A and B are shown apart, each in its own frame.
Chain A
Amino acid sequence: MRRSTGRTLTGYAFIAPWMVALAFFIGYPFLASLYFSACEYPPMMGPLFVGAENYVELARDDVFRQSMLVTITFAVVAIPLGVLLALTLAVMLNSRIRGQSVYRVIYYLPHLVPSVAVAILWMWMFNPNFGILNVVLRPFGTAAAWLLRPFAALDPGLPGWAALAAVVAAFAAWRWLKRRSEDIRAPEAGGLRSAALVAGIVFAAMLVVAAAAWTGPDDIKKLPSPGWLTDANPFPSKLSVAPSWALWALIYMSMWGVGQMAVIYLAKLQDVPVELYEAADLDGANWWQKTRHVTLPMISPVILFNVVMGIIGAFQVFTEPYIMTGGGPEDKTRFVAMYIYDQAFQYQRLGYASAVAWVLFLVIVALTMLALRISRERVYYAAR
C-alpha cells in the first residue's frame, strides 16, 4: 500500500507539468469560453452576464450564417476530394514501381512551405492576368469554350434528359455485362467489349454536352481565364449552393497539401500483410477486387482518422482566407474561424466571439459523431 502511494506520487510528479497545462491552458479556457459566450465583454471592463443574448443575435446574424455555410461547403467538397486524391496517389505509389521515394519526396514538399508563404504564392498563382495558372489554362480554356459554346445555347431540357437516359442505359449495360462476366473475358467477346467501350465514350460525351447546356454560356465564357479569388459567383452558376469561384480556388489550393495525407496512407498500405494479397490472388481476384476488399478495409481506420482531422481542420481554416481574400468577395470565403477572429480582435466583441466558437464546437462534435456513426460498420480494426 505504501509502495503504491509512493508510485502514485512519483507518477503525478512526472505528469505535473501536463496537469498544469490541462488546467490552465485547456480546461480553464474551455470552460471560460462557455461562460463568456453568455456575457457581454466590453473593452476595459469585466464580463457582464447577459444570458442567451449572444446566441439569439447569432441566430439572426447573416454573416455568421454565411461563414458557417462557406465552412461546411468547403468541408463537404474538400475533404472527400482530398481523401480520394491522397488514396489514389498512395495506391499508385504502392504498386511495384520505380522511383517511389522520389515521388514521395515531391508530393510531400508543399507541406514544408509555411502557410503564409503558401497563401502569398497562391495569390500569385491565381492572379487572373499574369498568374501561371491562367497562363497555362488560357489555350485549353479557349479551346474548351469554343467547343462547348454551341451546346451552351441549347435548352438544357433535351440534353439533360438524354444524359439521364445515358446514365441509366450505361448502368443497365454494366449490370448486364457483369452478369455475363464469365463470357466477357473470352476472346470471342471482343466485339462486345469494343461496343461497351464506344458506348461508354458516347455516354461521357453526352454528359459533357448536358453539363455545358445546363451551366449555360456565362460559365463557359469564363473558362479561359477565371477571376478566381475575385469572383463571388457560384460555379456552376445554376447551383446557388455550389462553391463560389473564390472558394473553388481555395479548395484547389488545399489539394496542393494533400501529399502529406498520401504519405500517411502509403505507410499504412505497406503494413498490409502480403499474405492477404496472396490469398486473394489464389481466389483469382483482379486488381479492383483486391483494392476494394483487401486494401481499403485494411486502411479504413486511417481514412476515418483523416476525415475526422479534416473536419476539425476545416473549421480552423484561417491563415489562407485571411491573407488571400480577407473574407471577400461578398463574404464568400469568410470561414468561421476568421469570423471569430474578427469579432474578438477587430471588433473587441469577446463574448460574441465565444458564442460563435461554441456553436462551431458543437457543429464539429456533431459532424464527428456523424462520421463515426456512418463509419461504424465500414471500418475494420485488425487485431482488436
Chain B
Amino acid sequence: MATADRPLEWYKAAPLHGILLGGAVFFVLPLVWMVATSLKPLDQTMRVPDSVGEALLGTGHRAVIDGREYEVTLERPLAPSPPSGDEPYWIVRPSEELLAGEMTHPFGPEVWRKYPIFNAEELRKMETRIGPEMKLLADRSNPFDEAAGVLRLRSGRKVKAELVRRVAPAAAGDDLWLVREWRPSDTDAKEIGSTAGDLTRAWAVLPESEIRSVVREIPQNYPAALRRVHFGRSLVNTLFLCLMTVCGAVVSSVVVAYGFAFIEFRGRNLLFGATLATMMIPFPIVMVPMYLLYRELGWVGSFKPLWVWSWFGSAFFIFLLRQFFLGLPKDLLDAARIDGCSELEILWHVVVPLSKPVIAMVALFQFLGTWKDFMGPLIYLGNRSQFTLSLSLQSFSSEHGGTPWHLLMAASTVFSLPLIVLFFFTVRTFIRSVAMTGMKG
C-alpha cells in the first residue's frame, strides 16, 4: 500500500494502469484537441472528422488547375455517383455577360438537391454578373452544345461560349469534386463564408484521383491568431503585471511572515488568526467597495488596482512562509542575534538563503495567479491597449461568437504554453508547493 520497494504484482497492476490510462486520456484529450484544432484550416473544423488522422492533423489538398498547382479546398462533390460518359460537365467561358440566376443550377440538379446552398428562389434573385473573363460550369440542365459553341440557359436564352475543358470521371468510383483555391487569408475570421461566392478564385472540377492530400504546414493559423488577439501588446501588459505582483508578493510576504514567525509581540497570535480568517472572505464581497475605493483614487482604467495590493502582502503566502520559517533551526538566528545583527540583516543573510525553495514557490504561485487572472482585468481595464492576454482572448472570442475555432485554439495554445513549459522546468517545486497547499488541514 504505502511506498515499498517491491512493485505491485502484474495482475494487480494491469487493471490499475488501465483505469489510470483511461483517466489520463480524459485529462489530456482536451489539450490534444486544442493543439490539433489550432493546426487545422477553417473548413476542416467545420466537419466531423472521418478518421483519427483527420481529427488530429491539419490536412489540406493540392491540385493542378489550368497548369498551375494550387492549394485547394474541396467545396463539394459534384457527382455522388459518377455520371455516365455521355453526361459530362463542361467548363466554358461565356463571351457575353449573364446573371448567375439565369443558370438553373450552376452545379447540377442532383448536387443542388443534396447540398443546397441557395434555394431556387434565392438563386433567381442573385444578381451576380458573370462576365466574359470568367469561367462557368455547365451540366446537362444548362447544356453546352460543343459543335455550335452555344450555352443554353434556363431562360431559354442562348449565349455564345468557348469550351475550356470537358470533364468526365476517368473511372467508375472516381467522384468529381468542385475545388477552389485556398488562400492563407482564409484563416482570418473575416473571410468565413465568403470563398463560396468568390468567382475570382481559381476553381476547377476534378476527379478525386487528381487531388492530393497534404499535411498543412503547421504555423499558418498562428500568425493570424496572434495578430487578432493583439498578442504582443497583451503579452507586454501581462508580463508587466506579473513582474510587479511577483516582486511585490515575495518582498512583502517574506517581511511580514518573518515578523509573524520570529518576533514576539503583543497581539501577534490574534493578528495571525485574523490573517487566516481573511482567506475565507470571498472576492465578490469586497469587489464593489474596492472598485469604489480605486475609482476615488482615480486608478480605474490603469494597472494600479491590479498590482499595488500585492506590495502589502497576501494572507496565503504569509501563512505558507511562516510555516516554513518556523521549521528553520532557531540556533542560527540566535547566533546571528548574538553577533549583533539587526532583524533585517538576519532576514537577509540567514533566513532568505535558507528559504529559497519556498520563496520560489510563492513567486510561482503569484506568477500563475496573475497570468491566469481574468476578473480583475475585466473590472479595472477598459482600454484595448491595456488588455492582458486573458482579456484579449476573451474579447476576441466574444466578438466572433466563437466561429474561428482554429484561431481561438491557436491563441489559447500560445497563452497556455509558457505555463506548461515553466511547469516542466520546475516540476519538483510545483508538486511540492501543491502538496504544501494542503498543509492547512
Taking beta carbons and an 8 Å cutoff, which residues of A are in contact with B?
A: 7-15, 17-22, 24-26, 28-30, 32-33, 36, 89, 92-99, 103-110, 112-117, 120-125, 127, 129-130, 132, 135, 256, 259-260, 263-270, 272, 274, 277, 287, 290, 295, 301-302, 304-306, 312, 315-316, 318-319, 323, 336-337, 340-341, 344-345, 350, 353-354, 357-358, 360-361, 364, 368
Contact = CB atoms under 8 A, between A and B. Distances in A.
25 contacts: A14-B255, A21-B313, A93-B20, A97-B13, A104-B431, A109-B27, A113-B412, A116-B372, A116-B391, A120-B397, A120-B409, A121-B33, A124-B408, A256-B30, A263-B434, A264-B438, A267-B434, A267-B435, A290-B1, A304-B441, A315-B282, A344-B288, A345-B291, A350-B288, A360-B284
A323 B398 contact: yes
Contacts of A89: 20, 23
Interface residues of B, number: 98
* A-B residue pairs, 6 tightest by C-beta: A14-B259, A267-B435, A11-B265, A21-B312, A301-B441, A29-B286
B432 to A, nearest CB: 8
B286 A33 contact: yes
Contacts of A319: 374-375
Contacts of B398: 323
B45 A130 contact: yes
Given A112-B416, A116-B394, A264-B437, A14 B374 contact: no
B190 interface: no
Interface of B: 1-4, 6-8, 12-13, 16-17, 19-20, 23-24, 26-31, 33-34, 37, 45-49, 55, 252, 255-256, 258-260, 263-266, 268, 271, 274-275, 278, 280-293, 309, 311-314, 318, 343, 368, 371-372, 374-375, 379, 389-391, 393-394, 397-398, 402, 405, 408-409, 412, 415-416, 419-420, 423, 427, 430-431, 434-435, 437-438, 440-441
A343 B371 CA distance: 26
A120 B412 contact: yes
B292 A360 contact: no
Greatest chain A CB density within 10 A among B1, B8, B441 is at: B1
A33 B291 CA distance: 11
Contacts of B4: 96, 274
A109 B434 contact: no
A56 B7 CA distance: 64
Nearest to B28: A106
Contact of B287 (A263, A265, A305, A357): A357
Contact of B16 (A13, A92, A312): A92
Contacts of A295: 1
A161 B33 CA distance: 44
Contacts of B8: 95-97
Contacts of A103: 20, 23-24
Contacts of B265: 7-12
A106 B24 contact: yes
Nearest to A46: B292
B20 to A, nearest CB: 5
Contact of A110 (B2, B30, B391, B427): B30
B343 A95 contact: no
A93 to B, nearest CB: 7
Contact of A361 (B28, B264, B282, B318): B282
A312 B47 contact: no
A329 B347 CA distance: 55
B415 A114 contact: yes
Nearest to A15: B259
Contact of A33 (B46, B289, B419): B289
A264 B434 contact: yes
B256 A17 contact: yes
Contacts of B313: 17-18, 21
A312 B280 contact: yes
A147 B268 CA distance: 67
B289 A28 contact: yes
A305 B441 contact: yes
Contacts of A13: 259
A323 B55 contact: no
B427 A105 contact: yes
Given A11-B263, A98-B7, A30 B27 contact: no
Nearest to A103: B20
A121 B1 contact: no
B252 A17 contact: yes
B288 A36 contact: yes
A264 B430 CA distance: 11
Nearest to A280: B1
Contacts of A272: 2
A178 B161 CA distance: 90
Contacts of A265: 438
A95 B278 contact: no
Contacts of B275: 18, 22
Nearest to A349: B288
A61 to B, nearest CB: 16
A79 to B, nearest CB: 15
Contact of B281 (A17, A26, A95, A304): A26
Given A305-B441, A316-B282, A95 B16 contact: yes
Given A120-B397, A135-B49, A364-B282, A98 B412 contact: no
Contact of B285 (A9, A92, A125, A358): A358
A116 B263 contact: no
Contacts of B372: 114-116
Contacts of B285: 29-30, 33, 357-358, 360-361
Given A103-B24, A323-B397, A21 B309 contact: yes
B293 A28 contact: yes
B412 A92 contact: no
Contacts of B318: 18
Contacts of A127: 405
Contact of B280 (A95, A345, A368): A368
Nearest to A35: B289
A129 B46 CA distance: 8
Given A11-B259, A120-B409, A337-B284, 7 more contacts: A8-B266, A10-B265, A22-B274, A92-B16, A96-B4, A114-B372, A315-B284
B293 A24 contact: yes
Nearest to B266: A8
Contacts of A323: 394, 397-398
Contacts of A259: 27
A90 to B, nearest CB: 11
A19 B427 CA distance: 34
Given A96-B6, A112-B416, A115-B372, A344 B291 contact: yes
